[in-house]
Amino acid sequence: MSTPMLYQSTRGHGVQLTAGQAIAQGLAPDGGLYVPVAMPSFELSAFDGANTLPEVAERFLKPFFAGCELEARVPEICADAFNFPVEVLNLPPRDGGRQFLLELFHGPTAAFKDFGARFLAACMERLPHAPDRRTTILVATSGDTGGAVAAAFHGRPWVRVVVLFPKGLVSPRQEKQLTCWGDNIQSLSVRGTFDDCQRMVKEAFADAALREQHALTSANSINLGRLLPQATYYAWASLRHFRQYGTKPNFIIPSGNLGNSMACLWARAAGLPIGEVVLAHNANRTVLDFLTSGDWQPRNSTATLASAMDVGNPSNMERLRQMHPALEAVRGAVHATTTSDAAIQHYIVAEKAVHGEVFCPHTAVAADAWQQLSPEQRAQDWMWVATAHAAKFPETVEPLAGPVPVPPALARLLDLPSHATEVDATLAALTMQLNAVG
């Protein structure tokens, strides 16, 4: 094996781990998130002859897995995980620039989280498993993560998955995807917000005895195995664009917990041809306020039509601030916007009228963020990231844009019975459920 690529906690404590070890552990023991000790650097010629997403992903991920037990298996992991399309749609040009839609919702649960969840499952399937106990994955979800993780890990005998979601704060179809599995998947409807769910997971990881007893690991974007595969579609899309147009595309990313955004920033830091990155938020404006004032002030999340982005204390901000410790460096790395529910509704209607495509509420946030750019910025090449299929949000979308056909994979899930347990937003309640299922 080659010289190992090592990962350390954002908080600088503890030993350095290989990719496989960091993925298996999930969250660092000191509560930090794993980041590369040194980011690899690519020349674009390294991707010559690589055109499909699995081909680009294999070359992009190889140095990130250097020296670990998964290194030789990266090609088969990519082939297993990325077996559904990613598409780029040309939008009608406006204001002199080119606009594109990076569609990431063609996987089994119709959301971009399928990329990370399936890759993580393929990695963990190939890591050693203790014969006398199962790994327990804890996943907090604001809508799409839990369904993607449940789909990726369902029926695997070496693992159990406990999904925590905020009661009444996800769409009915999202909730169906979180609760339709049974078997090795347990769904907890938490009396609280997504931030409460995320706090409960972090508190469980901070309890050393609980972590050891249940062999806990994570499947949120705090896990390295979720973030790295998301970087691959930014590598693929930017290479495709650069080869065709000779320019670096800019990206507008609907942002909640910032995992998808950090994936793009890691791809750019590794040398991929990516221009500006805009973090498009709904009414949860914690990140924008930080960029404006310099004060990091997490707060309770606000419920919006773009529910998967209802995050008031995004975990991956820790990775962003570790990557760019100075405030001015963060401001130079990203821009941020916020969008109201009224604007979300407006752009669902307006974008269907412009190009005939129906946006989900989160993608509508990206459309509004583009409109907030200066005329000079809008004259550049922009990719709006479409994170979920509109059929997941019929209560919001269909009164504005008419009936939305349901993708076959999603339709199959909607016919299954639901299983969920309602719990308080406390570590004690989570511990009781862990002990009950374990």
Known catalytic residues are: 113
Angle at 254 between CA 328 and CA 319, to 5 degrees: 45
CA separation for the pair 231, 74 (Å, rounded): 15
Torsion of CA 257, 260, 262, 264, to 10 degrees: -160
CA separation for the pair 75, 55 (Å, rounded): 8
Contact 145, 219 (CB under 8 A): yes
CA separation for the pair 99, 379 (Å, rounded): 9
285: which residues sit within 8 A by CB, 6+ positions away?
338
Helix (H) or strand (E) holding 369: helix 361-371
Q: Which of 184, 141, 127 is nearest to 159 (CA)?
A: 184
| Range list of β-strands (E), 180-312 | 185-191, 216-218, 250-254, 277-281
Amino acid identity for residue 347 in this structure: Y
Residue 390, Cβ neighbours under 10 Å: how many? 27
Residue 43, Cβ neighbours under 10 Å: how many? 8
CA separation for the pair 190, 175 (Å, rounded): 12
CA separation for the pair 431, 426 (Å, rounded): 9
CA separation for the pair 59, 37 (Å, rounded): 19
Amino acid identity for residue 133 in this structure: R
Amino acid identity for residue 389 in this structure: H
CA separation for the pair 319, 202 (Å, rounded): 16
